[in-house]
């Protein structure tokens, strides 16, 4: 597995991945239901794309994006303002022994996918890819 700019050292363990996914689902459910006592936050529809946990599971970083991507900074500010309550609600619903500190960051995955699509749509890139595919087909016959 190739490292990305977010990883330092080996990749996440199965436990980190499992706990991160549980936190992601629980946090998504809490935000969708409006379980937090903040009218501004409850008015927003926020997608939780991924949650990454630290190796000791004490810190969880939730990558979020408001529906449509508009007002991302406002959503981030509202989440950060309510992070203690979100931590408490998530921990209670998950019945964790220790509640991780939840940090929030903007999920840039969708922007990266759009940029990748834009690059693949360029004529010069399409021509290169098609040339590599044709060259690769000839290698199988030898």
| Whether residue 84 is found in the same domain as residue 115 | no
Q: What is the mean pLDDT of the chain?
A: 82
pLDDT of residue 9: 66
pLDDT at 8 over 50: yes
Q: What is the mean pLDDT of residues 76-97?
A: 91
| Whether residue 66 is found in the same domain as residue 103 | yes
| Whether residue 120 is found in the same domain as residue 100 | no
Which residue segment(s) compose the domain that 140 sits in?
108-142
**125 within domain boundaries:** yes
DSSP-assigned beta bridge partners for residue 65 = 47
């Amino acid at each position: 597995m190739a490292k990305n700019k977010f990883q330092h050292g080996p990749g996440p363990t199965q436990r980190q991945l499992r706990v991160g996914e549980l936190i992601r689902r629980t946090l998504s459910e809490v935000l969708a239901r409006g379980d937090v006592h903040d009218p501004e936050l409850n008015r927003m529809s926020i997608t939780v794309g991924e949650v990454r946990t630290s190796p000791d599971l004490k810190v969880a970083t939730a990558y979020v994006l408001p529906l449509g991507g508009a007002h991302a900074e406002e959503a981030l500010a509202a989440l950060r303002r309510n992070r203690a309550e979100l931590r408490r609600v998530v921990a209670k619903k998950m019945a964790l022994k220790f509640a991780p500190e939840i940090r929030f960051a903007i999920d840039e995955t969708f922007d990266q996918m759009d940029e990748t699509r834009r690059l693949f749509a360029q004529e010069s890139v399409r021509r290169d890819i098609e040339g590599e595919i044709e060259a690769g087909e000839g290698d199988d016959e030898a």
